[in-house]
Structure formats: C-alpha cells, structure tokens
A and B are shown apart, each in its own frame.
Chain A
C-alpha cells in the first residue's frame, strides 16, 4: 500500500482544520445578530465540498446556502440524454462519454443498461481519448457526448480542431455544452428565489475571467465572489460576500486569485470562439435559455452529430415526481422532494441530481443530511 505522500501543494494548505475553525468562528462573530443571508453556490463542486468538509453543518444559522444550476450533468435536458441513448444503440456506433452520464436515466433507458445490452459505450477521462478511438475503429462512427460548462469547452474545441487536422471522417460531437452567465441572469431576472450573494464557479472563471459576470453586480446589485473549492477558499469567499453586504457594496470579486485572472485564459477563449458559436439551449429546470448553449461553427459542422444522424428519440419526458428542476433553481432543497430517499437513491437514481458526483441530491444523501433532519 502506498504511504500517504507529503503535503499536496496547492490543496492541503487550503484544507487546514484549525484555520477552518477560526474562520467559522470569525464568521459567526461577523453575522451575529444580523439577518439571514442566502447565498447561492452555483457550482455543484462547491455543494459537494461544503458537505464533505463539514462546513455545511458548522455555518452560523444566519448563512443559508442554496444550490444552483452549476452541474452540467444535472442540467442536461431529458431529450438530450435520450439522443445519446438513441445514438449508442445504433449499430457500428461507439458512444464516448464522461463517467457521470452513464447512469443518468433517460425517458426509457440509460447508457449503462444499453451497454449491458451490447452497445459500445466508452467512458473516458479526457475528450482527447475519442481521437484514438476513432483511429482504432475506422469502420465505426465515434460520437463524443459533449457535456460541460466553460471549463470543459476549450479542451473539446482543441479536440475538434485536431479531428479536422487529422481529417477524421468518423468523429462526431453531440454538443450539449452550455455557458454559465445566461442561467444566472435568468434566475436573477425571474427573482423568485431570493439571493443575497453568489459564490461563482472557480474553474469556469479560470477560463472566462470575471468580466462576464459584471451584470450581476451592475444590473442586479448582487454581490458575487469567484471562489476556489477547498474549505478555506469557500469560507473566505463567504466572508467576502458578507463584507460586501455589510459595506453596501456589490461587485465581482476574485477569491481564487491563484488561478483566476480578471481576463481569464485568453488562449482558451480563442479556441472556443474559433470552433463554437452560441445557440439557444434547453436546461433541465430552467427551460430554453437564449444563447446559453454552444454549437459547432460551419467550418466544423461535418462533426455535428445532430446534422450527421437523423435522430429520432420519440417523446421525452422528465421522470414523474422528480424535483430536479426546482432544486437546480435553488427553489427547494432535496429534502423537499417526495422521491428523495424514497425511491430515489444513488443506487437507484430517478433524476440526474442523484446520479452526478456534483449533484445536490447525491450530496445531501451521501453526507447524511436527511438522516439528521428527517425526511417527511
């Protein structure tokens, strides 16, 4: 068995327990006697980190954290999942996907079941692996199921460019890529869920920088902090949000400055703009949001699976009783879903929020939130 190696740089320092306790104590002091503050942690990875680190149960009662739509698996529309299943079931087709999508239930099936029935479905860590699969299987159509937000699109853009350079004729992309600022604007504009501040996704922001979020402060006067994912990052970000509120300020601040620059990664942005253009996209729980998705530009549309294949998925419907949509909008917590721990569990998920490693319901379930507070 390998011994635990020396401290992992740029991770361990931001997990120090003693500092965490002190940050929580100083946060309690800061908000003591004040009103309840509702902060939305947009990114699913933040949700999980808050649970895993124990921050969630240690926060002062004045701070309430809401989950948001920042889980690309969870916000993939049912119809898009059905499309991937339809393609996977076709003969001479290899569907290449990230691991999380395997168990997400479609209207009639899921990729894991299709694989058991003989479909060629490959789970990869990197989209670059799809190119090797293409070359190893020249007689098959290799379709990459492209989900993800802005963190993931630059790698996929590079893969598409490489596919063109190698003149691959059997590489295809089913793009359900989405971008983060539009659903945030949709939520703020809708105004149904009261949000006093936003914890913005650190890795999306590594790519896009801070400027795309300016509307949050300028138009809606809501404070926002671009946060890292370790416990101390999140605690510092919450402090920064509270400070903005106490000082009656609203701005986009960067807590995660060790990787997020105000301008982001310009080279990555350039790659995306070269390969993709904005399009309307259907978000589970939020409906169609204009210009919130990405599709391949004309130069690359030979790789577009939607155009290359005559997809026929029949009707698509969300699972009956599933509240993923409301959970993704921060309107309710998983504990308020009738199916939570009552038919819908990580072993038998009904909706994507229970499947995804970043799903809110999975986090609530796995970290025992429901056992503490009870499920009605």
Chain B
C-alpha cells in the first residue's frame, strides 16, 4: 500500500494525464498533485497518481552521504 515507484515523464496530455516510463514499461499517471512536473522529470507514482517530484539534487546528496557513511567509519577505502 505504501508502494511508490519513481518513473520518468515521457509525455504530458490534457486533463493532467501523462505517460511515464519505468524500466521500459509505459503507463498513464495523473499529474494533478504535481502540476509543476515537466517532460523528463521523475515523479513518485502511487496507485496511478504522481504524488511528488523527485528532487535530483537531494537524491545526489543522499548518495554522497551514503558514500561517506560507508567509507569513513568502517575504515575501508572508498
């Protein structure tokens, strides 16, 4: 139920409907809750609705923090 999948917007139609692509599969989603989404953006999809834009900057920052956490404290080289 909490399932949310990141998917890339490939086209936007009328009535807040869009097509997204996840791993090669194309499906329709409703963009009403994320009106600022544009083609090429990644959104989090839940039960056929986009519920948030994925923030690329934050995503990269999280990966950077993960690298740091994995590298420094265990003493292993990055």
A147 on the B face (CB < 8 A): yes
Asked if B33 contacts A22 (CB within 8 A), the reply is no
A192 on the B face (CB < 8 A): no
Q: A125 vs B3: C-alpha distance in the bound complex, in angstroms?
A: 11
B69 on the A face (CB < 8 A): yes
| Interface bits B30-49 vs A (CB < 8 Å: 1, else 0) | 10111100000010101111
**A23 with B1, Cβ < 8 A, contacts A10-B59, A155-B49, A267-B35 known:** no
A206 on the B face (CB < 8 A): yes
Q: A355 vs B49: C-alpha distance in the bound complex, in angstroms?
A: 25
Partner of A149, one of B2, B5, B44, B63: B2
Closest to B76 in A: A22
Interface size class of A (residues with CB under 8 A): 35 or more
A268 on the B face (CB < 8 A): yes
Closest to A8 in B: B23
A257 on the B face (CB < 8 A): yes
CB distance from B10 to the nearest CB of A (A): 13
Q: A259 vs B7: C-alpha distance in the bound complex, in angstroms?
A: 13
Asked if B1 contacts A19 (CB within 8 A), the reply is no
Partner of A23, one of B3, B23, B70: B70
Asked if B59 contacts A158 (CB within 8 A), the reply is no
Interface set, chain B 1-18, CB cutoff 8 A to A: 1-6, 8
Q: A257 vs B63: C-alpha distance in the bound complex, in angstroms?
A: 11
Asked if A151 contacts B2 (CB within 8 A), the reply is yes
**Which of A129, A149, A267 has most chain B Cβ within 10 Å?**
A267
Asked if B59 contacts A258 (CB within 8 A), the reply is yes
Q: A259: which B residues are within 8 A, CB to CB? A: 4, 44, 52-55
Q: B72: which A residues are within 8 A, CB to CB? A: 26
**A9 with B8, Cβ < 8 A, contacts A126-B47, A265-B51, A358-B1 known:** yes
Which residues from chain B sit less than 8 Å from chain A, CB to CB?
A: 1-6, 8, 22-24, 30, 32-35, 42, 44, 46-49, 51-56, 58-59, 61-63, 65-67, 69-74, 76
10 new A-B contacts at CB < 8 Å, known A151-B1, A202-B2, A265-B33: A10-B59, A19-B66, A25-B76, A26-B72, A203-B51, A255-B62, A258-B55, A258-B62, A260-B52, A356-B1
